[in-house]
Amino acid sequence: MRLISIVSPAHNEANNISLIVQEVGRVMQSISRNYDYEYIIVDDGSQDKTWEAIVRESQKNKKVRGIRLTRNFGQQIAITAGIDQAKGRALIYCDSDLQHPPSLFPKMIRRWESGAKVVHTKRIKTVKEPFQKKIMSRLFYTLTGFLSDTPIVSGMADFKLLDKEVYTKLCTMRERNRFLRGMVPWLGYPSTIIKYQANKRSAGSPQYNFRRNLTFAKTGILSLSTKPLKYVGYLGTTLTVLSFLGLVGSGTLMVLKNDLRYISPTLLLMLFNTLLIGLVLSCLGIVALYISYLHQEVIRRPLYLISESTNVD
């Protein structure tokens, strides 16, 4: 039988662990004639009893494997920690709150067996999704897709199937500022898309607020593209040309009309100085972000630290 690895990050998901384990087990049992599975759950520095729930489930079912990180390293790092432990011929990673329905696993596996190295899922709707979250999601995908060199399709979250060849290559990419939604397409393997409706969160509250979404978008843009630097350069050039033309035009009118009302040197000087200072500070800010990312990569700290594990070699 082919082994399928399933990975889920978990942060303060104590009330969801038993539910997701049961649902994954039920779905994989339906295809157990051809496939075996391992379910790797990564506790990403939870403050509740998430780890105790993982240990409890791993004692009931040896297919459930748990990793506990020393602190909260973030969802992308937690998924990476799980992928590093995977042994399957294919790997599926999904959230642990049941918004990504495990019932989709058999269909994803069939697409993989048909030749797709990567099976993306595209969310077309979320049950009872708050209006503000819907707006934030659209803004996120629009902005990231516009500024990223790697195409980012709206609705494609961290719910995918990867062939072993793909996730093995992904494991060699050890940058700290990870954006898996862009890193996987960047690899360029043959892929397909499955559309689905996301479930309502089974328990607990969402971990991504406005600040975390903003940080996630920033990581997605800066880790995959240098377009912001190019656009800032274009903006600076455009403003410089427009400022020069404005000054020449105002000066020409003042001379031809012999009327000082066409130009106020003090006002124009103040406006252009303010504009240019703001532009310079914006450029420095974006350059500083890239330098900070380079700094984090150069010091080469480990991506994560494991404090405990269960059913893991």
**Does residue 179 sit in the same domain as residue 282?**
no
Question: Does 187 reside within a domain?
Answer: yes
Q: 8 pairs with which residues across the strands?
A: 41
Say how many domains are in the chain: 2
pLDDT in tens, 228-287: 766 776 776 677 677 767 667 776 777 777 766 656 667 567 667 767 776 776 777 777
Q: How confident is the model over 128-165, as pLDDT tens digits?
A: 666 666 677 677 767 766 766 677 777 788 999 999 99
Rg of the chain over CA atoms, in angstroms? 25
45 and 194 assigned to the same domain: yes
For the cut 60, the answer to whether the pLDDT of residue 207 exceeds it is no
In this structure, the answer to whether residues 160 and 292 fall within a common structural domain is no
pLDDT higher than threshold 60 for residue 210: no
> In the structure, what pLDDT confidence band is assigned to residue 61 with cuts at 50, 70 and 90?
very high
116 and 206 together in one domain: yes
Whether 57 is in a domain gets the answer yes
Give the whole-number percent of the chain exceeding pLDDT 70. Answer: 74
**Judgement on whether residues 151 and 244 belong to the same structural domain of the protein:** no
159 and 267 in a common domain: no
What CATH number has the domain bearing residue 7?
Answer: 3.90.550.10
Residues 25-46: tens digit of each pLDDT: 999 999 999 999 999 999 999 9
pLDDT in tens, 171-197: 999 888 888 988 899 899 999 999 998
Residue ranges making up the domain that contains 271: 227-298
pLDDT of 58 over the 70 cut: yes
Half-sphere exposure of 136 (CA within 13 A, CB side): 15
> Which of 112-121, 170-179, 208-217 has the highest mean predicted lDDT (pLDDT)?
112-121
Cα-flanking dihedrals φ and ψ of residue 38, to 5°?
A: -130, 140
Angle between helices 210-224 and 227-257 (to 10 degrees): 90
